[in-house]
């Protein structure tokens, strides 16, 4: 039975309120036994989810000082170090995590993510040949490595096997699209996914792929129509973000700007969204509106220092 505090922590994590979860974990640690690093580990995990990697590293190291063999604290440390871009050091930590029977797959996945960040695709293929791991996870990494190495025929076969193991898996479909474009050109792929997107029984990802392909093919009006046809009940933040860019690119800045503001309120660190928003505001003569929006956004996220830079930039427009 989970404690009330842990249930609150889990709800905050599920809602994406990572800063609040980290503060709750810190308070729980100071209210409890200082020789128990559980809440320090949970604090580090929440900070990692919120991309506060330096603070996460500190909390994880404190947890390991209490219990040097705690695999969950070591995992939090590995994630923090990877987030800081210190991939070789992170690999050392993930190697130890993978030695824990309960965390083998998680440790292996973190290790492979570091190798991918270093573009060591041959090493990834070598590791996959030596490791035991779930079939879908192996196929995922094999396909990514083969595609990165431009072994397109092999990659296509692997992606097809991956989709047999996990039908309609979005990540696999997106990789398949990129491979098909390299082999057949974007026009042929646009036609193919246009047909697939019209099949009612297909999941929404096919419509999203078609909309994205229209945008990549330089057809913003078609892309916008495709995004608008997506069921708003299932539209994710990522889809809404793409729709906002499509609106702006098709000359409908007045519609795009409020959508971008809503997205930026929830994701104040999104560099490309800020850039697109400011461009849309400048083109439509709404820089005063943007200045007011940034002033409000800073009040809501006073610790997000990049917002001051964006406000300064729009003030110069």
Q: Which positions of the chain have pLDDT values less than 50?
A: none
- Span 104-161, pLDDT tens digits: 999 999 999 999 999 999 999 999 999 998 899 999 999 999 999 999 999 999 999 9
The pair of three-digit structure tokens given for residue 101, joined into one six-digit string: 């029977």
For residue 119, give the 3-state DSSP assignment: coil
Q: What's the pTM?
A: 0.77
Cα separation, 230 vs 246, whole angstroms:
14
Do residues 95 and 115 lie in contact, with contact meaning Cβ atoms separated by under 8 Å? no
Spelled out in words, what is the top-level CATH class assigned to the domain 1-118? mainly alpha
Q: Where are the domains of the chain?
A: 1-118, 252-317
Helix axis angle for 253-266 and 271-283, nearest 10°, is 150
Confidence (pLDDT) at 251: 85
Q: Kindly list the distances between the CA atom of residue 308 and the CA atoms of 51, 268, 275, 280, 285, in Å, as whole numbers in the listed order.
A: 19, 11, 14, 19, 21
Residue 10 confidence (pLDDT): 94
What is the dihedral sign for C-alpha 151, 152, 153, 159? positive
């Amino acid at each position: 039975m989970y404690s009330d505090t842990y249930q609150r922590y889990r709800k905050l994590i599920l809602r994406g309120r990572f800063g609040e979860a980290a503060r709750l974990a810190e308070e729980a640690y100071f209210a409890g036994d200082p020789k128990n690093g559980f809440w320090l580990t949970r604090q580090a995990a929440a900070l990692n989810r919120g991309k506060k990697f330096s603070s996460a590293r500190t909390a994880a190291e404190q947890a390991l000082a209490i219990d040097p063999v705690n695999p969950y604290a070591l995992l939090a440390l590995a994630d923090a170090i990877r987030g800081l871009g210190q991939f070789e050091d992170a690999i050392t930590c993930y190697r130890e995590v993978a030695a824990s029977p309960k965390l083998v797959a998680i440790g292996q996945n973190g290790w492979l993510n570091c190798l991918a960040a270093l573009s060591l695709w041959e090493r990834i293929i070598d590791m996959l040949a030596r490791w035991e791991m779930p079939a879908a996870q192996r196929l995922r990494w094999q396909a990514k490595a083969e595609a990165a190495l431009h072994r397109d025929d092999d990659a296509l076969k692997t992606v097809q096997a991956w989709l047999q193991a996990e039908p309609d898996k979005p990540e696999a479909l997106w990789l398949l699209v990129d491979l098909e474009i390299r082999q057949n050109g974007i026009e042929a792929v646009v036609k193919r996914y246009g047909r697939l997107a019209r099949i009612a029984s297909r999941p929404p990802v096919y419509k999203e792929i078609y909309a994205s392909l229209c945008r990549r093919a330089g057809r913003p009006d078609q892309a916008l129509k495709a995004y608008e046809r997506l069921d708003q009940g299932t539209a994710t933040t990522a889809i809404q973000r793409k729709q906002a860019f499509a609106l702006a690119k098709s000359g409908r800045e007045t519609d795009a700007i409020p959508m971008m503001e809503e997205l930026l309120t929830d994701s104040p660190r999104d560099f490309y969204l800020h850039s697109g928003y400011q461009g849309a505001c400048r083109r439509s003569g709404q820089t005063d509106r943007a200045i007011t929006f940034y002033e409000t956004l800073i009040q809501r996220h006073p610790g997000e220092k990049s917002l001051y830079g964006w406000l300064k930039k729009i003030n110069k427009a």
